Structure formats: C-alpha cells, structure tokens
Amino acid sequence: MTATLRIAHCSDIHLDGDGYHQSQGGDARMVYRDAFARALATMRGHQPDMMLIAGDLFDANTASPGTIEWSMTMLEQQPFPIVMIPGNHDCMGGDAIYRRYDFNQIRNVDNLTSESGEIAYVEPLGAAVWGKGMIDHSPDYNPLSGCPDRPDGYKWFFGMGHGIHVPHGADTGRSSPIHMSDIEASACDYLALGHHHAALELVTDKATAAYSGSPTDDVGRGSTYVIIDLAENTAANVTVHAIGDTP
C-alpha cells in the first residue's frame, strides 16, 4: 500500500477504426495501432503505478483477430497493472470481442465486464477499481449506477464509466448519460470517464473526474491522455497531456 499513487487514464483508442484516417492515405488499421503504441510509450514515460482504460479500445466488435491479439500483447508488455471496461463501440452485446477473447487471462489486466458492475482489487497498491460492462448503449443505460461505497481496507478507490456527460440542470435523450450528480455522489477518489474524444476535467469540491480524450484523435486539445496524482488527505490532481509532450 503506497502513500502516493500515479495513474495513467486513456480511452477511445478505436483500434481497427476506418474512415477518418482513410482520407489521409495509408492503412488505417496500422495508423491506429501505431498511434496507440506511441501513446503507451508516452504514458510509460510518466512512470505510472497503474493504467485505466475507460472503454472503446476497439472501434467495433468486428475488429480483426490480428488486431485483437496485437492489443493483448501490447497490454501484457506494459510494466504496470491495467484495469479496463468496454465502451459503446466494443460493448458486451451480441458477439462481443470480450466474450470471444478473455482479456482477464493477461497477467496484468483486469477487464470489468459484468453488466451489474464489479471491482478489481490491485492488492500491491491498496487500490480497488469499479466498473461495469455495457450491454446496450441506450438512454436507459447509466454507466455509474450501482457504484458502491469504498471497499473496507483499501486506501484508493476508483471508478470508470463510458458515456456522455450531463451537467447539473441539463437533460439529454442521448445514450449512456453520466450526470454530474452521479459523479458527485460517488465515493471514488477519481472517476475515469470515456466517450468524449475531447478531454474534459470535471473537478468540484465533491468529486474529481475527467474524460481523457482520445490518444488516436486530434479533436479538442489534440491526441490526449490524463495523468492523475494522488496523495493522502489531498484531492486528486488531474493533468491532461497531449501525445508528443514531454512527460
């Protein structure tokens, strides 16, 4: 159990994506692979204790076997534990990637796919991470519903969710809403969110959360990820980084 903790948070990688990069020429599949490999190398430069991947590692459940197996090898090569959840693009419905390939067999990966939510316990760090597997990306699905209280005996508690941010006083008919009230009601030290490709910090006196943006898209502040630093009796410090910046 550590007195301080550093986390790398990313989401919306969209491996095997097409269209966007096709207009730039070349093999779009390799463009996404190369971008994710570059993002992993950049995040390693911060020497994080753990990584959170908040959904959409893949662009669709039809991703090629070669890309799925490549991603599993890349994750296993990272020198830290990784906790991840499905997103709307690689959700648990139908013939899901995560039903066909067991990412939990990777030595350093916990993939949280239970529809009702589950917790990964990263014992050496005294950390617990909650998340759930999206089955149906619909307005009825609330990514943060059911988030429990902090487990007994764990110094750090984190949550993950994949969906659209809904500010206080706003409403939306869009799928997978993440209401600010749900964020502020959470017992988590930090909530790692995915779905928005532009990074967005959501820090109040009640909660700390962020959308990491996408490390394979350049919308908003560019291709981004988040580094979170935590210490005892101190609110989590959230920093958005662009790929290519010096750690």
166 assigned to some structural domain: yes
* Residue where the block lists tokens 């990584």: 51
For 184-214, write each residue's pLDDT tens digit. Answer: 999 999 999 999 999 999 999 899 999 999 9
247 assigned to some structural domain: no
Query: What pTM value is reported for the model?
Result: 0.95
Note whether 193 and 161 are within 8 A (CB): yes
> How many Å apart are CA 113 and CA 115, to the nearest integer?
6
Predicted local confidence at residue 26, as pLDDT: 57
Split into its structural domains, the chain has a count of: 1
pLDDT at 171 exceeding the cut of 90: no
How confident is residue 246, by pLDDT bands cut at 50, 70 and 90? low
62 assigned to some structural domain: yes
236 assigned to some structural domain: yes
16 assigned to some structural domain: yes
Note whether 129 and 120 are within 8 A (CB): yes
Predicted local confidence at residue 1, as pLDDT: 65
For 91-139, write each residue's pLDDT tens digit. Answer: 999 899 999 999 999 999 999 999 999 999 999 999 999 999 999 888 8
191's tokens: 């909530």
Give 180's Cβ-side CA count (13 Å radius): 13
Tell me the average pLDDT of the chain.
92
Q: For residue 223, give its domain range.
A: 4-242
Q: What is the CATH number of the domain that holds 15?
A: 3.60.21.10
Among the listed residues 45, 38, 3, the one whose alpha carbon sits nearest the alpha carbon of residue 156: 3
What's the average model confidence in pLDDT over 154-173? 90
Predicted local confidence at residue 21, as pLDDT: 47
